Structure 1
Amino acid sequence: MTEIAGNHKAGTAGVAVVTGAGSGIGRAVARELAAAGWRVALAGRREEPLRATAAGPAAEAAVIPTDVTRPEAVDALFSAVLDRFGRVDLLFNNAGAGAPAVALDELTYDQWRSVVDVNLTGAFLCAQAAFRVMRAQDPQGGRIINNGSISAHTPRPLSIAYTATKHAVTGLTKSLSLDGRPYRIACGQIDIGNAATEMTERMAAGTLQANGRLMTEPLMDVADVARTVLHMASLPLEANVQFATVMATSMPYIGRG
């Protein structure tokens, strides 16, 4: 079901699609964009969390439950956005999943495949659909921002599926940037480390380090991530933040391992 929330007139900043918009980084970014005047399509698997996101400050938000691993669902998402808003100016490719932190030889095929399906195939399907729309629309062009991760650069222990897919997202970003040039389609990537969300609450008990010890790691406000994405999204298409790393200042990243 697709539903429009918000009573304000359409913003002038453009039309954004945010995947994984029902919680955490996706919710924070969607609300930041909406507050800045963007019309935002909220995509995620579950409708109720998307409704909760839409209940925050919003210029205009469309709730569109979507499974990004299914090509037909992604096509339906972008068709719904075009029906409601007429174009797509921004995709924040944010939906992501992880696997249990187990030894490599204990990771099952299904666990591996589920991470690849969301983090890589889902990101590709959404980028492909956005690219198709942006190339054809008038005025032509738009921007895609992929959510990479600190793990797009260096892994945590016991995270081979997540790390491999996030490294692959970097390749996706580079190819999109190159292939989008003739059509005014810019693509950048934000690599995030330790933003305080529901997903990082488990880190309170300590996070496994490369030396085998558990250590409590610093967190940063997720609002700082949202402001960074808004900055990237607000640039003219003649300018692009290719890669941005935003992280808790004292987290173990530089020198990890």
Structure 2
Amino acid sequence: MLTIGQLASYAGVTIRAVRHYHQVGLLREPERDHSGYRTYDAEAVVTLIRIRTLAEAGVPLGRVQELLDADPATFAEATRDIDRALRTQIRDLQEHRHRIAQLASGDSLAVPDEVADYLAMVRALGVPEMLIEAERDAWILIAARYPERISAFMADKVQQLEDPRTVRFYRLIGRLASDPEAEDEQLALEMADLLTEMFEAAAATGQLEQQELDMDDAGLVQLLDSMASGHRQIARVRELLADRGWTGWSRIERA
């Protein structure tokens, strides 16, 4: 007869594992002998080895007893079912690894792939990283509110990058963002003039009306606008735009 330590050694497991299998009901716990010790026989060793083998094969402990008691046909069907579940887990883990690799390579957290691709295009223009991060955070909010529209939003944004005015906008706002406390009236005027030109063109083509349909959540618009509210130069640009008859930042409207 074997002590619990000898049983564990024969079966290739730890004493702690043996006690856990007792606790979950997989391995019968023998009565204590006259000396107060529990002793195990050969059958316990065989059962424990079978439990260990199934567990190491990936069988959930909740199904081990089912397989221990199963006839050959039931055992075969159960193992096929477990194999299918394991394949699903492997696919999920591979997807997790893919996402982690994307994050490690510099892709932004919590944004769809289309947004990450767009931000990479903006980054290639030489826009400061702090501005990239601010835009990323804005798109996190937009993607959470309008997940079904994000592909269309991104297609439109990519198309806008073909307009030299959009590229110039990013470069100007990059200069503004590089020093939040700076006061550069000429730069603010240049930005306001450019935006006025872009807004007039958007109004002429109906894009301003479309943005009201696309961004129809006033609460979200206010939340997005608040992200730029603490920037002195942006506040000055908005004042200049108001003088020219334009209000808003995330959603532009005629005053």
Q: Same fold (TM over 0.5)?
A: no
TM-score, reference length from structure 1: 0.26
Q: Which has the higher strand share?
A: 1
User: TM (normalized to structure 2)?
Assistant: 0.26
- Relative contact order higher in (CA < 8 Å, ≥ 6 apart): 1
Larger radius of gyration: 2
